Amino acid sequence: MNPYKFFIPVIQFLIDIFIIIYLFFRFLKFQYETQGDKWNLLLLFENHHKALLLFIVSWYFISEKTGLYKIKNSNNFELIRKIFIQVIFYALIVFAISGLKSKYLFNNNITFLYNITVLISITLIHILADLYQKQKFSRAVFIDTNNNTNNIIKHFVHGKKIRNFGEFVKFPQKKGQYKYDFNQLNLFIKNHNIQILVFSLNGALSKEVEDTIIKFSDSKYMIYIIPDLSYEFYKNSSLNYFETLPIYLYRRKLNLFNKLFKRIFDITLSLIFIIFILSWLLPIIALIIKLTSKGPIIYKQERMGLHSKPFKIMKFRSMYTDAEYSGPKLASDSDPRITSIGKIMRKYRIDEFPQFINVLKGEMSIVGPRPERKYFIDKISKLDPNYKKLHKVKPGITSIGQVYFGYAENVEEMAQRLKYDLLYLQNENFFFDLKIIYLTLVVMIQGKGK
């Protein structure tokens, strides 16, 4: 393991403080020159060193709440989100301190420019630092690989590199056999210079894995844990006591503000999309569909929505008519039922565009678990009863399952995709929705849909 890794947050913090101090004096100089006042560096420091100290202390305490300097492998979206929140709170303090001084520290216009410059400068520095760190690959080992773990590996491995992890080293074990030896694992880790350990709590070796985590808990390694599905239960539970006996009280956490804000966002984005994109795209798509196959332009199908209430989902028709004359069937790669234009639409997710109308009607949200037909819900619920938890939220045009797993071709794949959708229930918030929308746009641009 890189012995200097834990100094990186300290170095990053000092760099940020240097930027804050440098910009502080630059904008003070600008303020004095604008007002025609004489200045020198010593005078600026004497008049405003207390304010500068408050700014530095405030930046530190805000960062403790935002986790800006925590050692964590995260993507650029998460990094920018943290910086944005950090600077918003910092800006409020700057405005407050500037306004409370008898002689303004900064006037409002300069305060605004100062905060914007801080935001841009620190964002660029952090992104550049993050890119530099990611070039220094770490070695990771996945312990007790299973379907849950393999799905994560499939979506994050690029060649021999794992995003945010580095080179992938698989712990050797015979196919179909789970022969486990802690000493052998420990020796393997030392011989291969492993720095990151990724454990699954949802595999065949759960008891041995839990014991191993305890043994490695005081080690120098970074330890990541892929949780069991039961984690969703405990996350929504609160610990209580019956006399001296601890018990968990389960309740679904409701955030009314988040719910209202999400609905406003859904309506606003849907109106923008329908007015500025669908209005001119619809006639073009309609003409192509009509020229390439017989049948309606818009295809409607009953799906199950919030609280298992049925509704008619809308799509551009991508299959020939009577495609399910023999009964319900999921689409697959090279499906002969899909039209030539349908393949292109499904590849770039264009067939889903009419669902913005479903969103306006309140039947769907832009982000949420994909809605399914009752026929398939009954089948998947037999494999995994957790599926019915998805009906606690509105279904969406896109979802984390669609981004990381894609379209399912059978009930077994639907059960695998369920794990991602359950993850959404645990992390449902506006910023997570924005991240999923961003990743969906990437999938569309790259044409990775089916």
Structural domain boundaries in the chain:
5-135, 138-228, 256-446
pLDDT at 215: 79
Residue written as tokens 């004497």? 46
**Domain boundaries 138-228, CATH class:** alpha beta
pLDDT digits (tens, 9 = 90+) for 301-343: 999 999 899 999 999 999 988 877 777 777 776 788 989 898 8
Q: Are 209 and 146 in contact (CB under 8 A)?
A: no
334 — alpha (psi -120 to 50), left (phi > 0) or beta?
Answer: left
Q: Are 317 and 299 in contact (CB under 8 A)?
A: yes
* Residue whose C-alpha is closest to residue 94's, from 52, 39, 125, 31: 52
Residues in CB range of 376: below 8 A, 6 or more apart: 328, 330, 411, 414
Model confidence at 192, in pLDDT bands (50, 70, 90)? confident
d(CA 337, CA 357): 26
pLDDT at 372: 92
How many angstroms separate the Cα of 367 from the Cα of each of 345, 401, 438?
A: 20, 11, 11
pTM above 0.85, yes or no: no
Q: Are 369 and 424 in contact (CB under 8 A)?
A: yes
Residue 172 has pLDDT above 60, yes or no: no
d(CA 353, CA 274): 9
The percent of residues above 90 in pLDDT, for the chain, comes to 22
